[in-house]
Structure 1
Amino acid sequence: MKPMITVAAILVALALGWLLLPVPEVNSPAGAHADDAVTAPPASDFTLRAERMFTGSKWLIPGLVEVRDGQISRVGSDFEPAADLPLLDLGDRTLLPGLIDAHVHAFGTALVDALNFGVTTVLDQANDSALIETLRQAAGAQLFASGPPATAPGGHGTQYGYTPPPVTGPADAADFARTIEEAGSDWMKIIIERGMGNWRMPSLDRDTVAALVTAAEQVGLKPVAHVSELETAHWAIAAGAHGLVHIFADQPADDALLALMVADHRFIVPTLVVMESVAGMVGTDIENDDRIGPWLSAEQRGSLAQRWPGPRNPVLRQRVLENVRAMHAAGIPILAGSDAPNPGTAHGLSLHRELALLIEAGLSTSEALAAATALPARHFGLDDRGLLEPGRRADLLVIDGDPREDISATLDIHAIWQAGQPVARVQADTVDSAPVPAHGRLSDFRPEAAGAEFGLGWEPTDDQMAGGNSVVEMQSGGDENLAWVRLRGEIRSGFGWPWAGAMFSPGSTPMTPVDLSGFSTLHFKARGEPAELRVMVFSPALGAMPATQTVSTRSEWQSFELKLSGFAGADPAAISGLVFVAGPGLGEFAFDLAEVRLE
């Protein structure tokens, strides 16, 4: 689909260290039932026993798994538990492999959010290489990634704030493949997107697609394709793409495509959950489910609340279900992917909805669970996970209930282990109850302090924490009439979304929302160069994307008034961050801020 990626979408998330969260505590695998949670062993050596277990390929009743050094050492129904290991009896619960989401775009809290819902591995299907390298070191679900996608100049994937290496025709294919392979990509994603109806955009032609597939294979990368039409699906599969990472919706799948995919052992990641959202048919009571609401982060709530434009389209929903049904009936492997955080989806949570939609499309419960465990591991070369068998990582998910009776039981999470370590689930964010001073002063920037009147105050921020090269220094200054903070630095190449500037956190902890509904206007003074200063507001209602207003500055002080209502989509009753930055244009910058206040 169309990942909602913008320059600003990751700005504060990176700056506030969302990507550098501490590793969750490993003292208890807390779950939705804290009163009877399993007592975790002190290390990654233990045996689990559950009433039922799905290994990724078959059911064992009961099921036992022995774990040593974070890896599975024995699996069965009746072996004698080792005397030197603690035995954890899970009772009448179901043990599954940790889930794998085969289509995401990771930003902000994505990896922690995914792990919170039992998704221990995610496959990122288009992102900036520098950001990917940062995410690989972050806590949460383990990430594998395509890196930048192959797309036409001005084509899909270029409108979200970063520019992939250029592909203007077949002659560029080899250079593109070498570039992303050297940058650490795990496979190649090829975007073939011409648009639909009156909405058209530049796209790769058939010859270029074929050249990219060949180039990917030559550097050892598996090529997969984004398509939205039957015709371009034919192009990709005929060229040798190993799989499609969306189901097409313009026409029914024809026998020729099905036969070719079966003959060449190709797979599909249909991302039905985002197609359901595009069709305008997302449920509205999700957050009221006790298995979901308490565990949703502000970012998840924001992306769930977003909607695609257009009316409800049940015909579209039915068409994509039927196309998946036809592929499944033909024997084509179906992999589960959410395409989070597109509108109406959320990292982690939406993979559970995808399981339900796959069952609606004709898969059995076992096949749907395999689509989120064994099959992504097999088709993306992750041979160390996805199955409960000796030698694999002990990525484990324990749920209450039996998913064979109701697939939504996968949401009733009791415990999670990642590489043998228990994961403490993170409770949902809430609005900070600390009062905001009536004067609304964010700072008067007195030289003796950072000038914070409430919240965590001001800090410099730049893209180095995301692998970029931009730099910034923040210094207090002033004279007898005015105190200010000076931001001086340089926006440098090296990251897809370069930035540098200052951020203000209004809550008592980073990105905790604060109720600022008693104010209507942001006032501040600014001077400096360059002439464009971006002011951004983060709010859970926006998901990962901040709302932005831009002002023009000059060398003399100017006073600015920005209406909070001008930050489109932000909820004044829940504001989690305020940022002043230069970029993305490259070059040196210097600007001063003073008398920042709300009225």
Structure 2
Amino acid sequence: MAPSTLITNARIFDGENIIAEGGFILFEKGLIKEIGTVESSVTLTADITIDASGHTILPGLIDAHVHIHEGSIELAQALKFGVTTVLDLFNEPENIAKLKRESSKRPDIADIKSACYAATIKDGWPRPVILATMEDKEAVRFPNLGTRGAEYSGSLALVEHVTDKLEFSYIKLMHESGACLLGNPLPLPSHELQSALVQAAHKHGLITIAHALSQKDTLAILAAGTDGLAHSFCDEAPRDELLAAYRKYNSFLVPTLVISATLTGAEKPSTERFVRHPFVGKFLDSRMKTCYCGRIMMGKEGCKSEYSYQIVRMLNEGGIDIVAGTDAATGLEGTAIGLSLHQELSLYVERCGMTPLQALRSATSTTARRFSFEDRGRLVKGMRADVLMVKGDPTKDISRTLEIGGIWRGGVALDMDN
């Protein structure tokens, strides 16, 4: 059992707001027992007491879009960057089941939620990209819903299977025509299929989150009622109707701005700035750094990251929830699990006009609220003791999220030296 821990004299961001400039947090048995101003902590005792003067305490970060294919080593890397929970958006159920078992026993790796297989159609996304990158072509055996999804009545059975057999946390939809990508056009699911999937998911208390990389595809999947989008598009400037479409179903956006950057070749200077940070050198080897600084350059001519920034700016100003996520995966140029979330947050502030507070909410409380995670994302009595401590004030300077001084998952301190 982890020792009880009392952290005092800290600035506390609870996931929504700063609740104390000189506050304390006490956690034991994996949960937050008390939290408040330092004056009310004088009678409290714990096995370990930490003076956090000059530091900020905040909830462990949540990356709402990753792909964990290499095993627990990737979850360990995420946690080293203060990401205590990752949301996987396409994976094999057997792999996720194994990772969930490991994360339930190991506080030194991040927790994981997953959509496992996405609802895709024959020859639709992501089959082309998987075939292009996998040596074993026979390994691509994930299920699909037919050629156009005309047999959409089967969507309810699919969601029931997901709910009853595989314990997915949410449903991933695919709506990708390839309009903004190099390569051939891709078949799209029908509107009827996507709408049926959304309705079936909701019947079982699940939300849907959809992949779409062009404005046309985004508007189409929003019209089907999806709860969220897994990307911002970069093929053209956002039109006014986009905001209205998000508002109609109160949908949220996971921008994955680091993906817009790798598709278009943007943000190389800022990426190199992050990779030179002293903290990063502890956990990324030269191969990882080279991959992180690389670019996949799959966007068609005319695609611009600036369009993605305009989307985030428009939606944030319009009251739409922004949920932080990166699409990070080992070997995907332009990304690094854990580190990419810090760059993503910086882009929200530096390119999209979000305040540091808004950016921090997007990686903590907003994610927990939109995905109905009632045990994390905020520092509140009774919640999980997933805690990040950083030097300085990230609510004023978002770059401070990388000045990590301590990480606790379920109240267990991470050994930063291993």
- Place the TM-score, normalised by the shorter chain, in its bin: 0.7 to 0.9
Secondary structure in structure 1 of the residue aligned to 2:389: strand
Change (3 A) 1:74 1:83: closer
Q: For residue 345 of structure 1, report the CA deviation from its aligned partner.
A: 0.5
Which residue of 2 is the match for residue 247 of structure 1?
Answer: 232
**Aligned counterparts of 1:80 and 1:286: Cα–Cα separation in 2:** 37
Q: Do the aligned residues in 1 keep the contact of 2:115 with 2:172 (CA within 8 Å)?
A: yes
Partners of 2:301 and 2:378 in 1: CA distance: 37
Q: Alpha-carbon deviation of 1:426?
A: 5.4
Q: Does 1:194 align with 2:177?
A: yes
Q: For 2:272, give the aligned amino acid.
A: T
Please say if residues 150 and 164 of structure 1, whose CA atoms lie closer than 8 Å, have aligned partners that are also in contact.
Answer: no
The Cα offsets for residues 481-506 of structure 1, whole Å up to 9 and x where unpaired, read as: xxxxxxxxxxxxxxxxxxxxxxxxxx
Partner of 1:530: none
- Unaligned 5+ segments in structure 2 are 131-138
In 2: Cα distance, 1:266 partner to 1:104 partner: 20
1:166 partnered with 2:126: no
Q: Does 1:143 align with 2:112?
A: yes
Deviates most, 147-156 or 46-55: 46-55
Partners of 1:251 and 1:202 in 2: how far apart? Answer: 21
- Deviations, residues 37-90 of structure 1 (Å, cap 9, x unaligned): xxxxx8342221243121101112112112121111222123134433243211
Local SS of the residue matching 1:284:
helix
Q: Which has the larger radius of gyration?
A: 1
Looking at structure 1, the residues matched to 169 and 127 of structure 2 have their Cα atoms a distance apart, in angstroms, of 20
State the partner residue of 1:74. Answer: 34
Give the Å deviation of 1:129: 0.7
CA distance in 2, matches of 1:263, 1:251: 22
- Does the 8 Å CA contact 2:226/2:249 hold for their aligned counterparts? no
Distance in 1 of aligned mates of 2:225 and 2:291: 34
The Cα of 1:270 is off from its aligned counterpart by 0.7
Higher relative CO (Cα under 8 Å, sequence separation at least 6) belongs to: 2
Residue identity opposite 1:99 in structure 2 = L
Cα shift at 1:221: 2.0
C-alpha displacement at 1:214, in angstroms?
A: 1.5
Residues 380 and 303 (structure 1), Cα distance of their counterparts in 2 relative to 1, 3 Å cut: farther
Q: Give the percent of matched residue pairs that are identical in Structure 1 and Structure 2.
A: 32
- Partner SS, residue 72 of structure 1: strand
TM-score normalised by the chain length of structure 2: 0.87
User: Residues 152-551 of structure 1: matches in 2 within 5 Å?
Assistant: 152-159=121-128, 160=130, 161-168=139-146, 169=149, 170-181=152-163, 182-196=165-179, 199-281=184-266, 282=268, 283-297=271-285, 300-301=288-289, 303-309=291-297, 316-341=304-329, 342-359=332-349, 360-425=351-416
In the alignment, the residues of structure 1 paired with residue 235 and residue 226 of structure 2 have an alpha-carbon distance, to the nearest angstrom, of: 20
Mapped contact 2:17–2:357 kept (Cα < 8 A): yes
SS in 2 for 1:246: coil
Match of 2:2 in 1: 43
Q: Distance in 1 between matches of 2:302 and 2:15?
A: 32
TM-score normalised to structure 1 length: 0.61
Could you tell me which residue of structure 1 aligns to residue 74 of structure 2? 110
Moved more, 197-206 or 239-248: 197-206
Q: Distance in 2 between matches of 1:368 and 1:256?
A: 24
Aligned positions of 1:121-140 closer than 5 A: 121-138=85-102, 139=106, 140=109
Match of 2:22 in 1: 62
- Supply the AA of the counterpart residue of 1:391: G
Q: Distance in 2 between matches of 1:221 and 1:251?
A: 31
For 2:134, the equivalent position in structure 1 comes to: none
* CA displacement at 1:331 relative to structure 2: 0.3
Q: Aligned partners of 1:131 and 1:399: how far apart in 2? A: 32
* Amino acid of the structure 2 residue aligned with 1:201: L
Q: Aligned equivalents of 2:391 and 2:76: distance in 1?
A: 22
Per-residue CA deviation, residues 372-395 of structure 1 (Å, 9 max, x unaligned), is 011111111111000011111011
Contact 1:98 1:121 in 2 (8 A): yes
- In 2, Cα distance between the equivalents of 1:390 and 1:71? 8
CA distance in structure 1 between the aligned counterparts of 2:66 and 2:272, rounded to whole angstroms: 22
Compared CA separation, residues 384 and 310, structure 1 to 2 (3 A): closer
Compared with structure 1, are the counterparts of its residues 376 and 298 closer, same or farther at alpha carbon in structure 2 (3 Å cutoff)? farther
1:97 corresponds to 2:59: yes
Q: Deviations over 1:117-168 (max 9, x none)?
A: 0000000011111111111123410000011001111111224243332212
Q: Which ranges of structure 1 fall in alignment gaps of 5 or more residues?
A: 1-41, 428-599
Deviation at 1:400, TM superposition (A): 1.2
- Taking structure 1 as reference, are residues 303 and 381 closer, same or farther at Cα in structure 2, changes over 3 Å only? farther
CA distance in 2, matches of 1:381, 1:250: 32
Size of the aligned set, in residue pairs, is 386
1:183 Cα deviation (Å)?
A: 1.3
Equivalent residues of 1:56, 1:373 under 8 A apart: yes
The aligned amino acid for 1:95 is: I
Task: Report the Cα distance in structure 1 between the residues aligned to 2:85 and 2:338, rounded to whole angstroms.
Answer: 10
Cα separation, 1, equivalents of 2:190 and 2:290: 36
Alpha-carbon distance change, 277 to 50 in structure 1, aligned in 2, over 3 angstroms = farther
The Cα shift of 1:263 comes to 4.3
The letter for the 1-side match of 2:394 is P
Instruction: Report deviation, 1:312.
Output: 11
